Amino acid sequence: MEIGKKIMDLRKKNGLSQEELAEKVGVARQTISKWELGETSPDLKQSKELSKIFKVSLDELTDNDIKDILVEKTSNTEKLAGLILKLLKFAIIFIVVLPILLIGLRIVFKNIYEHNAGRLMEINIKCSLHDESYSYGFVYYENNGQIKEAGGDGYLINITDADRYEDAYQALDKIDAYVKNNGGTCERSEATTVEDE
């Protein structure tokens, strides 16, 4: 709808004559007539005054349909909010599920590894060196010798660096060789099966 038609409709709706409206806006009655006929249009100051008189917004007075714009902006905002919520849900699920999945995979692979590595075995070595006795023990996997636990007199490990080995057999050989090269003797126990906890 053109602004002239809108002014006429609002004027009639508010029960005003052209003269009464002209007086309120501060223009001649002919100016109101020209606006309503679409020959001229009110300037910004006059449009503001008309919006106050008719108690409508400038957008409504000029028939700017901002409802579609607002609906579109609202729709876009809702879409963005929905996307953000989906991303947050995914992130939360990822943060919660990933550690559980990793722990589960670790347990599965550990079980597979331990199954393939064989039974847990225990072996001890007792050594005499410089009139002192020392002992050290290893719990290891039968098939590959990988050490699961080790412990005993720290002196043997400190002087031989045997703790840097992952293989129980290599660590035992290192301890044995060092003690024998320094005038001592070692005796290994027989390997026995350990009950896995």
pLDDT in tens, 62-99: 777 666 565 666 777 888 888 899 999 888 888 888 88
What gap in Å lies between CA 49 and CA 25, rounded to an integer?
6
Of 77, 78, 10, residue with least CA distance to 50: 10
- Same structural domain, 163 and 177: yes
- Same structural domain, 17 and 38: yes
Higher per-residue pLDDT: 65 or 49: 49
What gap in Å lies between CA 181 and CA 187, rounded to an integer?
15
- Same structural domain, 94 and 69: yes
- Same structural domain, 175 and 110: no
- Same structural domain, 161 and 188: yes
- Same structural domain, 173 and 188: yes
Q: Which of 24, 49, 64 delimits the end of a domain?
A: 64
> Is the predicted pLDDT of residue 144 greater than 90, yes or no?
no
Quote the pLDDT of residue 107: 85
Note the pLDDT tens digit of each residue in 125-141.
999 999 999 999 999 98
- Same structural domain, 94 and 129: no
- Same structural domain, 189 and 125: yes
Half-sphere exposure of 97 (CA within 13 A, CB side): 6
Q: How many CB atoms lie within 10 A of CB 142?
A: 15
Mean pLDDT for the chain overall: 86
- Same structural domain, 81 and 31: no
CATH code for the domain in which residue 34 is found: 1.10.260.40
- Same structural domain, 72 and 84: yes
Tell me the residue type at 160. T
* Spatial contact of 50 and 18, defined as CB atoms under 8 Å apart: no
Tell me the residue type at 112. I
- Same structural domain, 124 and 182: yes
- Same structural domain, 142 and 152: yes
Per the structure, the count of domains in the chain is: 3
- Residue 172: domain span: 120-193
